Structure 1
Amino acid sequence: MSFRGKRKDGEDHPSDENDSHAPPKKTSKFSASAAAADDSDDSDDIVVCEISKNRRVSVRNWNGKIWVDIREFYIKDGKQLPGKKGISLSLDQWNTLRDHAEEIDKALSENS
């Protein structure tokens, strides 16, 4: 049975007490991550190579774990910022991909 629309006895008018049950304010993921990026030291982010003008590979330490990050970037207000398009590989995932590099190269040569 739903309680929506039903009131307990004596609750004919909304009260300030009901405001304490309001959901917490939401914050945008982007603004939270952007603020964290401003506070963090970029020394944990090592750019390994630029794949193209807006794509790069970097190795970074995030939340105490090391990640290989392959990501697209965009420019906003003169700053280069990470976009949504990309992938972050854990060390285990990176090792699996690296171990299969020869097979990937072989498949590429067969399909070219």
Structure 2
Amino acid sequence: MPKASSKTKRPISDSDTSDSGPDDAGPVKKSRPSAKAEAKGDSGGGATSCEVVNGEPTWTIAPKRFVKIRKFKGKTYVDIREYWNDDKGDLKPGKKGISMSMEQWDMFTQIIPEISKRL
């Protein structure tokens, strides 16, 4: 007969399956806009004009959320992603986001008017 486990099982909650990025138990650091954003006077309050960052066209839609056009294995993708600050203060891409192929992006842009109408 198997031994009873000393660990108790807990029910799975929505927070257990969240795709919220890296887990860290440390204190929450307040983010600050990048030096470029500060120089432009942009605190991330709204969509900005296109900037090329590391060779990728990039639009800021919130303080740590960006839309980028990326190439991967010879294919082009539109990446909408939330970023987080690492220990050094550098922005790193998080798990929260979506990367769409050009076909998916085209389908998405075609339904935007209907989505806007229903909002």
Q: TM-score range by the shorter chain?
A: 0.5 to 0.7
In structure 1, give the amino acid aligned to 2:110: D
**Whole-angstrom distance in 2 between the partners of 1:56 and 1:50:** 5
Alignment of 1:3-82 (within 5 A): 42-43=54-55, 45-47=56-58, 49-76=59-86, 77-82=88-93
Structure 1 runs not aligned, ≥5 long: 1-40
**TM-score of the pair, normalised by structure 1:** 0.56
Match in the other structure for 2:114: 103
C-alpha RMSD of the superposition: 1.4
SS in 1 for 2:83: strand
SS in 1 for 2:109: helix
Quote the sequence identity (%).
39
In structure 2, give the amino acid aligned to 1:91: M
Match in the other structure for 1:86: 97
**Whole-angstrom distance in 2 between the partners of 1:62 and 1:79:** 22
Say which structure, 1 or 2, has more relative contact order (CA 8 Å, 6+ apart): 2
**TM-score of the pair, normalised by structure 2:** 0.53
Task: Number of aligned residue pairs: give it.
Answer: 66
- Deviation of 1:86 (Å): 0.3
- Deviation of 1:54 (Å): 1.0
- Indicate the structure (1 or 2) with the bigger Cα radius of gyration: 1
**Whole-angstrom distance in 1 between the partners of 2:73 and 2:82:** 21
Q: Which runs of 4+ in 1 moved over 4 A?
A: none
Structure 2 runs not aligned, ≥5 long: 1-52
